[in-house]
Amino acid sequence: MATRITLRVGTGRDVHHAWGATAALVAAGFEVHVQTCAEAAAALPAASWFDYTQCSSVTARWADPVPGSVAVDACLGPGETSAARIQVLEQPAGVLLRPCADGDATIRLEAAAAGRPYADAVVDAVRYVHPPRDDLAGLRIVVTSGGTREPVDPVRIITNLSSGKMGQALARAARDRAAEVTLISTTDTHPRLAGVRLVVAPDVAAVRQAVLAACADGADAVIMAAAISDYRPRSVATHKVKKTPDGAHWELETVSNFVPEIPPGVLRVGFAAETDSDLDAARTKLARRGFDLLCLNNVSLPGVGFDVDTNQVTIIDREGVRHTTGVLPKIVVADRILDELRSYPGVGRR
């Protein structure tokens, strides 16, 4: 049985498909050949969709022949788990990705809604092995993402509206430019990115520990895209606080700023989610928190901020405004931020 899928990945997100007589899909200049085992082929319906969880292997190569290839071997059969962890093995002919017990690079081969294939995972693996750009090669970038959650009692938390989409976009964009990326996320709800090391850190203390550990391992830049709680309960109840007619009172303490603990040789990039565009306040925050660059975004504007796929930022340093974006897809905004990071004096040579 042969199937053909054509992927358009200008942003790395949109997928269009059509079926034909060959087993090839074209993605970002690659041909990706899908080979199904006989058992899986016999089980597939003869109609409208293809389930990647039933494919035995996916092989990608440049559309214009060049040395090297990529292979993703799912080793999954009907009824088996639809997640495969992979590791990278250097081979004379290219790079081979195979399942392993654990690993930083993860491909989730899952059927998407309405039975459509989750082909984004295959494209993501290809972009990891052959990054579209390499101007960040050799840089080790740490990205924090999402909203921290500070417990009040065993069932309640103090959190914020951050969705983690901006941090996810930054990690993807840096990976696609050949950087070595560690993503420190407050949740594990986003699709895993092949080649990106994921650390889940739900609260401020865990984020701090993970950031400092990543810096100790060696980092050139830390991008603090996570929305860090300003306050947390002074004490956490060991049992659920019961609801009473008179309400409840919790004493909060200010969360300390750990950015100054980041080693001085690491570029520090921060975010300021505000409900205005006060540049003076942003400059004050940059200096007070110890950032080298600060991305100011006014979340009161349409299409900007939390839980949307677009954003708008003004990037400043100690001298003033470096760049202001329009309202753009977050993956594009991420690239603009990385452009400023790359051009910052001394980055990668500290």
Q: What is the pLDDT of residues 285-298, one digit of tens each?
A: 999 999 999 999 99
Cα separation, 50 vs 74, whole angstroms: 14
For residue 286, give both structure tokens: 């940059």
Q: Assess whether 73 and 103 both reside in one domain.
A: yes
Residue 156's CB is within 10 A of a number of other CB atoms, namely 17
What domain count does the chain have? 2
Q: What is the pLDDT of residues 56-83, one digit of tens each?
A: 333 333 333 333 333 443 333 333 333 3
Q: Assess whether 283 and 172 both reside in one domain.
A: yes
Q: Assess whether 180 and 112 both reside in one domain.
A: no
Considering the domain boundaries, does residue 303 fall inside one? yes
Strand partners, 198: 183
Considering the domain boundaries, does residue 348 fall inside one? no
DSSP per-residue string spanning 73-135: -----TTS-SEEEEEEEEETTEEEEEE-SS-S-EEE--B-GGG-B-THHHHHHHHHHS-S--T
Cα separation, 296 vs 298, whole angstroms: 7
| Confidence tier at 126 by pLDDT (50, 70, 90) | low
- 160 flagged as catalytic: yes
pTM over 0.75: no
Cα separation, 278 vs 180, whole angstroms: 34
Q: Assess whether 205 and 100 both reside in one domain.
A: no
Choose the catalytic residue: 160, 257, 298, 311: 160
Q: Assess whether 212 and 301 both reside in one domain.
A: yes
Q: Which one of 102, 129, 156 terminates a domain?
A: 129
Q: Which one of 129, 158, 190 terminates a domain?
A: 129
Domain that holds residue 40: 24-129
DSSP per-residue string spanning 39-54: HHHHHS-SSS---GGG
- Residue whose pair of structure tokens reads 């202001």 in the numeric block: 324
For residue 296, give both structure tokens: 């100011």
Q: Assess whether 163 and 303 both reside in one domain.
A: yes
